[in-house]
């Protein structure tokens, strides 16, 4: 196909295009085994279906305090004008007596 305003000096044939080298790193496509199942499943294996989550007691002095508004976690909160990406509690409100709540991994059924 001819171009109306093309300059023959600047054109080069398609055969002069460079050949890109193939990737030097081989791609690992190994099947899922028991050894790498935790990494594939997002941290859960067949034997560990319980996820432990740390929960505040809501009774100690630290839990009943209000946010300081000065620490990095408070500055990130939406109510203090931040983006809300960290999702962490205020440094002054970090619980001393943290308990663990067990959350069972459920199947996709409801």
At 64, is the secondary structure helix, strand, or coil? helix
- As a whole number of angstroms, the distance between CA 76 and CA 29 comes to 40
Give the distance, in angstroms, between the CA of residue 54 and the centroid of all CA atoms in the same chain.
19
**Domains in the chain: boundaries:** 65-103
| Tokens 């943290």 -> residue | 98
Q: How far apart are CA 105 and CA 110, in angstroms?
A: 12
**Residue 80 buriedness (CB in 10 A; 0-12 / 13-18 / 19+):** middle
The pLDDT profile of the chain, 110 residues, written as one tens digit per residue, is 566 776 666 666 666 666 666 666 665 656 666 555 555 555 555 455 677 888 889 889 999 999 999 999 999 999 999 999 999 999 999 998 888 776 666 555 54
């Amino acid at each position: 196909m001819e171009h109306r305003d093309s300059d023959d000096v600047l054109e080069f044939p398609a055969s002069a295009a460079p050949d890109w080298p193939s990737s030097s790193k081989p791609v690992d496509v190994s099947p899922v085994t028991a050894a790498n199942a935790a990494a594939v499943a997002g941290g859960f294996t067949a034997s560990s279906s319980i996820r432990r989550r740390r929960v505040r007691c809501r009774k100690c002095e630290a839990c009943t305090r209000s946010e300081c508004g000065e620490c990095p976690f408070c500055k990130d909160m939406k109510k203090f004008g931040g983006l809300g990406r960290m999702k962490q509690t205020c440094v002054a409100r970090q619980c001393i007596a943290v308990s663990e709540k067990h959350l069972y991994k459920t199947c996709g059924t409801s």
